[in-house]
């Protein structure tokens, strides 16, 4: 909890206000004092002159009838008076806001709201069910970040990249770092799926999202990328922030955000995940500032696979050889280890062998490997999977359960083909999402059309009778803009 104590010249006249302030002090919660037309020194020195000191003296002089003795006695004990005085002195020494007669009350309110929002604990990002090997990668990333204190340009925020092939766990690593380090900064923002959102929405949308998370009290609508750069520079000047830009694949995307590094506090950090090191280097990120994520070694791969296949870190008897073959086929890729481990959970040796045979004849491309997981689904689950991959990513999980039933959604979760994040939004790894959309684009019925099929949608809308009568279309998903 956070407390806001608004102290005025008449504050100490109220016993209830003083009792409340004493409880705030003893609660251990964060207190934001607002000195409303009163100097903090007048609150601090309550034993001397001033309105608050006079109010406390009046409380000391108040009496009440004692039925036992029939005489008057002090209404408040000396301990109570001292508790009030201590609470006032304590709050007066805290960092807060001073409002004078000539100040703007609206601006004060805005600043107080922003201060409270910054102190409210934020929900941790969901990282990984089994964080095998994450500790080692996090340690290496920390070393890369720390090394930039010496190498970064004077007066600029640090920019550190995390690069590697898809499915290696770049986003997982960035989320873990974000969860552990966000409290070191005054504000923080994790911008997910930059590549996908820049394509389906806009960079201006992502800039608005970033500003809204870093400065919740600012309600600014950004209309274009270039306008957004100027707005971010204006509002984030001298701010101490942690920013994560996830899954960047084009220089233009970084150019929409990186200009702010020159106006942020120098100990701010911008972390970027990408599959393409060239994009980072072209944008001015130093080679020494880039951490390359490698595949997992055999020991860690086996542990991660077994966690999903057996819900324990070691193989069960009679499956050790099969586990070794799966680990080799997955090539140290955490995404493959996770998906195939979940696929064979609870299945017999014959099923394991059948999946292995398909893996052995598939190409080294992750798309071909992941397609095996799709083919193993029942007909109903295939339809649910394709619908979600095409239309429902980012939607509320309860909506999906109402449409397809909780059992179907949970089955896809159990097979690690989708997940619900900390906000109950539907998410898929980008490889799994792309795999689903590639399958949908090949013309399976019912035909699914989304943003990539705008031309087809335009053609359909020119023939309204076709849309009304066709049984081969389950959704036509149009952008609102």
CATH number at residue 354: 1.10.8
- Contact in structure between 341 and 308 (CB atoms under 8 Å): yes
Same domain? For 358 and 260 the reply is no
- Contact in structure between 186 and 118 (CB atoms under 8 Å): yes
- The more confidently predicted of residues 103 and 206 is 206
Alpha-carbon distance of 129 to 214, in angstroms, equals: 28
Query: Which stretch of 11-15, 167-171, 421-425 has the lowest confidence by average pLDDT?
Result: 421-425
Task: Indicate whether 178 belongs to any domain.
Answer: yes
How many other C-beta atoms are found inside a 10 Å radius of the C-beta of residue 254?
A: 24
Query: Residue 107 maps to which CATH number?
Result: 3.40.50.10140
Task: Indicate whether 312 belongs to any domain.
Answer: yes
- The more confidently predicted of residues 394 and 177 is 177
Q: How far, in Å, are 17, 33, 94, 241 from residue 50 at the CA level?
A: 18, 19, 20, 41
Q: Angle formed by the axes of helices 334-344 and 320-330, to 10°?
A: 140
Task: Render pLDDT for 176-214 as a digit per residue (tens, 0 to 9).
Answer: 999 988 888 888 999 999 998 898 889 999 999 999 888
Task: Indicate whether 124 belongs to any domain.
Answer: no
Domain housing 244 = 134-292
Tokens of 320: 């050790």
Alpha-carbon distance of 167 to 384, in angstroms, equals: 23
Alpha-carbon distance of 407 to 384, in angstroms, equals: 11
The pLDDT assigned to 227 comes to: 93
Which residues are annotated as catalytic? 20
Task: Indicate whether 43 belongs to any domain.
Answer: yes
Same domain? For 182 and 61 the reply is no
Same domain? For 177 and 55 the reply is no
Same domain? For 264 and 153 the reply is yes
Instruction: Write phi, then psi, for 313 (nearest 5 degrees).
Output: -80, -5
Same domain? For 286 and 317 the reply is no
The pLDDT assigned to 450 comes to: 62
pLDDT surpasses 60 at 477: no
Residue with tokens 């609870």: 346
Same domain? For 28 and 143 the reply is no
Same domain? For 256 and 336 the reply is no
Among 341, 301, 335, which Cα is nearest to 434's?
335
pLDDT surpasses 50 at 469: no
Task: Indicate whether 65 belongs to any domain.
Answer: yes
Alpha-carbon distance of 247 to 254, in angstroms, equals: 11
The pLDDT assigned to 239 comes to: 86
- Contact in structure between 308 and 345 (CB atoms under 8 Å): yes
The pLDDT assigned to 474 comes to: 55
- Contact in structure between 117 and 216 (CB atoms under 8 Å): yes
Same domain? For 55 and 34 the reply is yes
Same domain? For 350 and 391 the reply is no
Helix or strand (DSSP H, E) at 362? none
How many other C-beta atoms are found inside a 10 Å radius of the C-beta of residue 13?
A: 16
The number of domains in the chain is 4
Radius of gyration of the chain (CA): 30
């Amino acid at each position: 909890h956070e407390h806001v104590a608004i102290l005025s010249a008449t504050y100490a006249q109220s016993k209830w206000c003083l009792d409340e302030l004493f409880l705030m002090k003893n609660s251990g919660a964060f207190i934001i004092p607002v000195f409303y037309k009163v100097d903090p020194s007048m609150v601090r020195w309550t034993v001397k002159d001033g309105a608050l000191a006079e109010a406390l003296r009046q409380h000391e002089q108040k009496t009440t009838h004692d039925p036992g003795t029939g005489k008057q006695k002090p209404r408040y004990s000396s301990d109570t008076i001292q508790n009030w005085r201590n609470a006032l002195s304590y709050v007066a020494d805290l960092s807060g806001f001073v409002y004078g007669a000539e100040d703007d009350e609206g601006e004060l309110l805005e600043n107080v709201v922003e201060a409270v929002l910054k102190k409210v604990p934020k929900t941790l990002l969901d990282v990984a069910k089994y964080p095998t090997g994450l500790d080692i990668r996090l340690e290496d990333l920390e070393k890369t970040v720390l090394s930039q204190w010496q190498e970064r340009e004077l007066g600029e925020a640090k920019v550190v990249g995390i690069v590697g092939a898809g499915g290696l766990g770049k986003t997982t690593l960035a989320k873990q770092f974000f969860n552990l380090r966000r409290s070191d900064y005054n504000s923080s923002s994790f911008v997910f799926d930059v590549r996908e959102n820049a394509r389906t929405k806009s960079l201006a949308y992502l800039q608005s999202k970033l500003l809204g998370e870093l400065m919740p009290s600012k309600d600014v609508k950004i209309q274009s990328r270039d306008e957004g750069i100027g707005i971010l520079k204006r509002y984030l000047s001298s701010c101490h922030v942690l920013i994560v830009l996830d899954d960047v694949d084009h220089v233009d995307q970084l150019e929409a955000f990186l200009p702010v590094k020159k106006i942020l506090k120098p100990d701010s950090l911008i972390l970027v995940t990408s599959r393409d090191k060239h994009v980072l280097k072209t944008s001015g990120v130093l080679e020494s500032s880039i951490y390359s994520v490698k595949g997992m070694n055999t020991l860690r791969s086996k542990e991660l696979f077994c966690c999903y296949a057996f819900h324990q870190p070691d193989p069960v008897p009679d499956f050790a050889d099969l586990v070794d073959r799966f680990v080799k086929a997955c090539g140290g890729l955490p995404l493959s280890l996770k998906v195939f481990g979940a696929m064979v959970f609870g299945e017999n040796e014959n099923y394991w062998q059948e999946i292995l045979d398909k893996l052995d004849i598939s190409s080294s491309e992750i798309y071909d490997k992941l397609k095996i997981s799709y083919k193993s689904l029942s007909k109903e689950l295939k339809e649910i999977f394709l619908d979600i991959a095409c239309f429902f990513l980012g939607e509320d999980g309860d909506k999906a359960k109402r449409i397809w039933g909780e059992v179907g959604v949970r089955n896809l979760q159990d097979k690690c083909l989708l997940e619900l994040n900390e906000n109950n939004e539907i998410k898929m790894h980008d490889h799994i999402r792309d795999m689903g959309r590639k399958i949908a684009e090949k013309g399976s019925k019912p035909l699914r059309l989304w943003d990539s099929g705008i031309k087809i949608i335009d053609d359909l809308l020119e023939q309204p009778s076709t849309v009304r009568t066709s049984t081969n279309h389950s959704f036509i998903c149009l952008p609102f803009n």
